[in-house]
Amino acid sequence: MSTASEKVLLPCIHVAEGDIPPRVLVCGDPARAERISRRFEHPVCLAQNREYWTYSGVYQGVPVAVTSHGVGCGGAAIAFESLWRAGARAVIRVGTCGGMQPEVTAGSLVIATAACREEGVTEKMIPLSYPAVSDGETVAALSQAARDRGIAVHKGIVLTQALFYPGFLESTVKLYARAGVKAMENEAASLLVVSSLHGVKAGAILAVDAPAFELVGVDGYSQTAGGANVAQAVEDGIDIALDALIRIPLS
């Protein structure tokens, strides 16, 4: 029998309301969340359940946290909604993506200004006419943090897709590429929509690991071709995101 002093854990992420500081990074891979936590002072593991691993700590004197959300918007949306309920007020996604423009090559970084909602989840929350847009102050903080570190970045719209491998239906990726969309990934749209609905400031910075394979074909796609350049871009993206996270005004 539970007592009044016991915390009620939120579904799936297994943290309680009030456990999360206002500033949070999110990423797909639980192992990456653990690696990010090593950049914190006094890191503490708050929970490890399914794909949702959460760590808190301090970065440059500011309380922060990191949570992994797995692959795809269905599970990720659970994490983003739960993080808001647990105390998050500024959230930056750090992850990887496929480049969709000739200049967005493996080892590049992309700051998402908005996301195309092709993930099949957020349309169940609110009509598709509601945009998935990054918070302006978050984009500005990410851009300034990149400049301060002397790291070049691309900025623009990304495509959030439900699919990873293409199926039998014709893909829309080439259409979006013609429209100038910078990159394709699997979770940003749900972060931006959930965050906007709750007044949470959110954005994303993504390391390009290869061209989107719907542009080059599955046989021409390789996440390892970029080698050290991609690995460095992932680390640079994390550094930029942490620097930006502590600069975002919460009021």
**Each residue's pLDDT tens digit, 22-33:** 999 999 999 999
Catalytic residue, chosen from 19, 29, 209, 243, is 209
Strand 90-99 to 183-185 pairing: antiparallel
What secondary structure does DSSP assign to 49-93, as a single string? Answer: ETTEEEEEEEETTEEEEEEE--SSHHHHHHHHHHHHHHT--EEEE
pLDDT of 2 > 80? The answer is: no
Give the tens place of pLDDT for each residue, 84-141.
999 999 999 999 999 999 999 999 999 999 999 999 999 999 999 999 999 999 999 9
Quote the pLDDT of residue 227.
Answer: 81
Kindly report the average pLDDT of the chain as a whole number: 93
Quote the pLDDT of residue 117.
Answer: 98
pLDDT of residue 223: 61
For residue range 141-174, list pLDDT tens digits in order: 999 999 999 999 999 999 999 887 778 888 899 9
For residue 3, what pLDDT is reported?
Answer: 45
Residue 217 — very low, low, confident or very high, per pLDDT cuts 50/70/90? low
Tell the CATH topology of 23-245: Rossmann fold (3.40.50)
Please tell me the distance from the alpha carbon of residue 56 to that of residue 77, in angstroms, as a whole number: 20
| pLDDT for residue 28 | 97
Q: What is the pLDDT of residue 22?
A: 98
What pLDDT, on the 0 to 100 scale, is given for residue 7?
86
What is d(CA 81, CA 73) in angstroms, rounded to the nearest whole number? 12
Q: Determine the residue type at 51.
A: E
pLDDT at 170: 84
135 is catalytic: no
Which of the two residues, 2 and 78, has the higher pLDDT score? 78
Query: How far apart are alpha carbons 66 and 190 in whole angstroms?
Result: 17
pLDDT, position 225:
65
Whole-structure pTM value: 0.94
Q: How many CB atoms lie within 10 A of CB 3?
A: 5
CB atoms within 10 A of CB 30: 19
Centre a 10 Å sphere on the Cβ of residue 179 and count the other Cβ atoms it contains: 12
What is the DSSP secondary structure assignment for residue 122, as one 8-state letter? G
What is the Cα–Cα distance from 28 to 94, expressed in whole angstroms?
8
Block residue for tokens 């930029």: 240
d(CA 210, CA 208): 6
Tell me the chain's radius of gyration from C-alpha atoms.
Answer: 17
CB 71 within 8 A of CB 185: no
Q: Which residues contact 11 (CB under 8 A, 6 or more apart)?
A: 78, 82
* Secondary structure class of 231 (helix, strand, coil): helix
Q: Among 12, 159, 164, 186, which residue's Cα sits nearest to residue 95?
A: 186
